[in-house]
């Protein structure tokens, strides 16, 4: 059954609906990298679920099988998959991931950013990321967020600064803020990005 719920009822029911979908997937078996399902709520309040999102409206929801044990090749495969889904250059997404976590799925920064793409808890809520240490879900959410920033800030260096310091900070300074950490971050990502592109 689908329909528009009051906010309180939807908040209570959504976890149950997601759990039911995850149970179905677990019982039916999973294909490689099918550890994440996606959902979105349309204008009529109807919830849609898929493991193959064909729209940027979908948000990731992860299964209980999430594991931080994954090889570098597995990480790069996921980066390429989700970069292609969101129309982001996979070399740029790889550079961001390497600078952010150095391929460590369980990385946590001193400011609280988590996982491979080092996503802050508040941003996780906005992206619908519920299991930040699940490599696939974290990469999917991180690439989605990078895509959002690239749409908001077409200049790549501004989008990277926003990924590091927050979009509001980039707006406030009308560009890369005068923070040494952010300036180093942007240079480091851009250097890696250029190196990866030259390896084509």
CA distance 9 to 16: 11
| pLDDT tens for each residue of 178-188 | 999 999 999 99
pLDDT of residue 22: 53
Q: With beta carbons less than 8 A apart as the criterion, state whether 74 and 135 touch.
A: yes
Residue 90 has pLDDT above 60, yes or no: yes
Let me know the angle formed at the C-alpha of 44 by 40 and 46, rounded to the nearest 5 degrees: 45
Higher pLDDT, 170 or 63: 170
CA distance 131 to 66: 8
Q: Residue 155: phi, psi to the nearest 5?
A: -75, 120
- Place 39 in a pLDDT band, splitting at 50, 70 and 90: confident
8: CB partners within 8 A, 6+ apart: none
CA distance 56 to 69: 27
Closest CA to 63 of 94, 39, 89: 39
pLDDT of residue 18: 56
| pLDDT tens for each residue of 137-173 | 999 999 999 999 999 999 999 999 999 999 999 999 9
> Average pLDDT in the 122-144 region?
94
Q: Residue 62: phi, psi to the nearest 5?
A: -105, 155
Residues across the chain: 200
In DSSP terms, 48 is beta-bridged to 40
> Average pLDDT in the 115-138 region?
94
Position of tokens 């129309």?
Answer: 87
Asked about 157 being catalytic, the answer comes back as no
C-alpha 195, offset from chain centre: 23
- 41, 98, 100, 181: the active-site residue: 100
- Residue spans per domain, the chain: 7-62, 72-198
Higher pLDDT, 9 or 119: 119
Q: What is the CATH number of domain 72-198?
A: 1.10.530.10
Q: Is the pTM of this model over 0.85?
A: no
Q: What is the mean pLDDT of the chain?
A: 83
For the residues of 65-129, what is the DSSP string, one character each?
T--S---HHHHHHHHHHHHHHHT--HHHHHHHHHHHHTT-TT-B-TT--BTTTTB-HHHHHHHT-
């Amino acid at each position: 059954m689908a329909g528009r719920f009051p906010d309180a009822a939807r908040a209570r029911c959504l976890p149950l609906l997601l759990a039911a979908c995850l149970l179905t997937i677990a019982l039916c078996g999973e294909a490689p990298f099918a550890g994440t399902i996606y959902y979105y709520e349309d204008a009529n309040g109807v919830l849609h679920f898929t493991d193959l999102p064909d729209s940027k409206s979908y948000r990731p929801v992860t299964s209980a099988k999430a594991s931080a044990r994954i090889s570098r090749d597995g990480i790069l495969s996921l980066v390429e998959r989700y970069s292609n889904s969101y129309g982001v250059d996979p070399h740029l997404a790889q550079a961001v991931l390497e600078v952010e976590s150095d391929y460590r799925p369980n990385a946590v920064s001193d400011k609280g950013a988590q996982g491979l793409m080092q996503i802050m808890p508040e941003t996780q809520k906005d992206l619908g990321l519920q299991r930040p240490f699940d490599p696939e879900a974290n990469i999917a959410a991180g690439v989605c967020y990078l895509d959002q920033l690239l749409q908001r800030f077409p200049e790549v260096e501004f989008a990277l600064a926003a990924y590091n310091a927050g979009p509001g900070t980039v707006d406030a300074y009308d560009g890369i803020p005068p923070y040494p950490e952010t300036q180093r971050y942007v240079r480091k990502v851009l250097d890696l990005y250029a190196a990866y592109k030259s390896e084509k």
